[in-house]
Amino acid sequence: MITPLDNLVRTLARLPGLGRRSAERAALALVRRPEDLLDELSAALAAARAQVRCCDLCGGFTTADANPCALCAGAGRDGQRLCVVEEPGDILAIERSGGFRGRYHALLGKLSPARMTGPDELRIQALLDRVAAGGVSEVILALSTDLDGDTTAGYLAERLRARGVRVTRLAFGLPADSGVGYSDPLTLKRALGGRQDVP
């Protein structure tokens, strides 16, 4: 028989980044002080379930009463540059960097023949419609550098160039505070290919 504690541990272990031991520690902390943590977590989860949505325009996270999201509706963003990401969480990461002031479009995944994810399962048509509506001069592909990410980038570049927009991709290279000896061969190859003049 599965106890409520076992069920809580198994549910928490399904979250990214939490293994069985971490989930067990989290579950024990929650039930040890339910008035401090468990009640607060339950309320936060219920509020997220009721209110958090994906923005109809960019696919990023927003609330039901703010759709389109603040990044799409806000003035002062460069509407000519559109950054395409795989997941809504990627938008948050780029925003934290402070290096981009344009608009976003989350695909909600990437093309993957192995997972049987094709263009119809992603927000690709919505992207093409946004570009066709006009005003976008550059699409920046901020996609992962694995095989599926490269496949997605190639597919999008072909479709977008046919619509007359400039298509770029994030630069590849060595991470900050890292050395050549710690980098994998693909990262080094891309870093050499994307080398720049020293100012």
Tell me the per-residue pLDDT of 1-37, one tens digit each, with 9 for 90 and over: 889 999 999 999 999 999 999 999 999 999 998 888 8
CB 60 within 8 A of CB 69: yes
| Greater model confidence, 76 or 175 | 76
CB 91 within 8 A of CB 58: yes
Is 80 exceeded by the pLDDT of residue 190?
no
β-pairing, 52-54 vs 61-63, is: antiparallel
Which pLDDT value is given to residue 13? 95
SS3 105: strand
Count of CB atoms within 10 A of residue 190's CB?
16
CB 86 within 8 A of CB 123: no
Is 90 exceeded by the pLDDT of residue 98?
no
Is 90 exceeded by the pLDDT of residue 192?
no
pTM: 0.83
Q: Which of 133, 126, 130, 137 is nearest to 164 (CA)?
A: 137
Query: 3-state SS of 44-86?
Result: HHHHHHHHEEECCCCCCEEECCCCCCHHHHCCCCEEEEEEEEC
- CA 25, CA 13: separation in Å to the nearest integer? 10
Which pLDDT value is given to residue 184? 76
Mean pLDDT within 73-92: 94
Q: Which domains does the chain have, with CATH numbers?
A: 76-169 (3.40.1360.10)
Which pLDDT value is given to residue 118? 94
Q: What is the pLDDT of residues 109-130, one digit of tens each?
A: 999 988 999 999 999 999 999 9
- At residue 187 the predicted structure's pLDDT band, cuts being 50, 70 and 90, is confident
CB 85 within 8 A of CB 95: no
Is 70 exceeded by the pLDDT of residue 199?
no
